Amino acid sequence: MSLGPAPSTNPAPNGTIKVMLVDDSAIVRGLVARILATEPLITVAAQASNGEQAIAALARTPVDVVVLDIEMPVMDGLTALPGILKAVPGIKVIMLSSLTQRGATVTFQALKAGAADYIPKPSASSEMSGAGSFKRELIDKIKGLAARRLRPAAPAGPTPAAPRPAAPGTATPPSPGSIDILVIGSSTGGPQALFDIATKLKGLRPRMPILITQHMPATFTGILAEHIASSSGLPAAEGVDGQKIEAGRIYIAPGGRHMLVEKRGPDRFIKITDDPPENFCRPAVDPMFRSVSTAYGAKVMAIVLTGMGSDGGKGGAVIAKGGGLLYAQDEATCVVYGMPAAAAQTGLCKAILPLPAIGDLIRKTVG
């Protein structure tokens, strides 16, 4: 069946997001280009079949976002990534990753090297042709990463001063003994933020458990746990259904499943469920936050980090209304200011902080 002519790759008009597609498969590039052609705010401005071509094309075609395949001849995506970031400072790169152990491992290497996000390459052709969630996820990620560029210019004339973000180190740690568990929710940009926080835990013996829900598919969350364990020097692993929660350990919600907490007598346990997605996500932050509030009452500290959408906002409000402490990452240090904005808009955050200050606060609280 003919797919028809590929969408135009001419430079986009003002006010649209210009995207470069880099994949050695012309069929994949064509399918992704057709998906993006359905979104008026996005224009495919350039295409390349390997990393070397992509770097060369950036010299003559300005783009905002690059969708970069990992496995390619001549120059693969991981090798090309530093050259792309150097060629256009501030450019956002989304890695197109396979759902394999190797694909996940290389994706994390790319995130540590400066890629903004990733998207799993679907195995079914129907997904790649725009019939499933791949289309929504890809378009949302591109728009989310380019959100700052799409904002309308500020109106002429005086405007009220924006609230100043809290300065690093200004948040006062909770009093000793007032917090029994730390919970963190994150999405786009989350792995990088979590690695930054994990390095600040090095050398500590946390007196409480740490639970993390990061929006990720299966396979990826296990590797995320390995990287957090390496960065923090603490035991970190995917949560297991029925597992007793212990101080000093880090539990990661397994990809594709929700991670909750149950209280049984004096102890708390991990509960893994296949309940329907919330906020289009599974695992989702809100159900974890709600269950932790029920199990621990007021002795909860919750952090909402960078990410698209609003996951964590409603659950964070439940924690705060139950007497716990809710914090959100500030806009300036977020890759995407969606989830933290939802938490901030509840009006219940104890503080809204830059990422370095969040790491310092966590270290002082759990150490």
107-118: pLDDT as tens digits: 999 999 999 999
CATH topology of domain 181-366: Rossmann fold (3.40.50)
Task: Look at domain 17-149 and name its CATH class.
Answer: alpha beta
pLDDT for residue 171: 79
Active site residues: 187, 215, 311
Whether residue 8 has pLDDT greater than 70:
no
User: Among residues 241, 253, 297, which one has the least CA distance to residue 277?
Assistant: 253
Identify the three-state secondary structure at position 182.
strand
Give yes or no for a contact between 84 and 104, defined as CB atoms under 8 angstroms apart. no
Q: Name the average pLDDT for the chain.
A: 88
All CATH 3.40.50.180 domain ranges of the chain, comma separated, are 181-366
| pLDDT tens digits, one per residue of 182-214 | 999 999 999 999 999 999 999 999 999 999 999
pTM, to two decimals: 0.88
In whole angstroms, give the CA distance from residue 215 to residue 221: 9
- Beta-bridged to residue 304, according to DSSP, are 185, 328
Q: pLDDT tens, 123-149? A: 656 566 655 788 999 999 999 999 876
Which helix (H) or strand (E) covers residue 238, if one does?
strand 236-238
Residue 66, by phi and psi: left (phi above 0), alpha (psi -120 to 50) or beta? beta
Which residues in the chain are classed under CATH 3.40.50.2300? 17-149
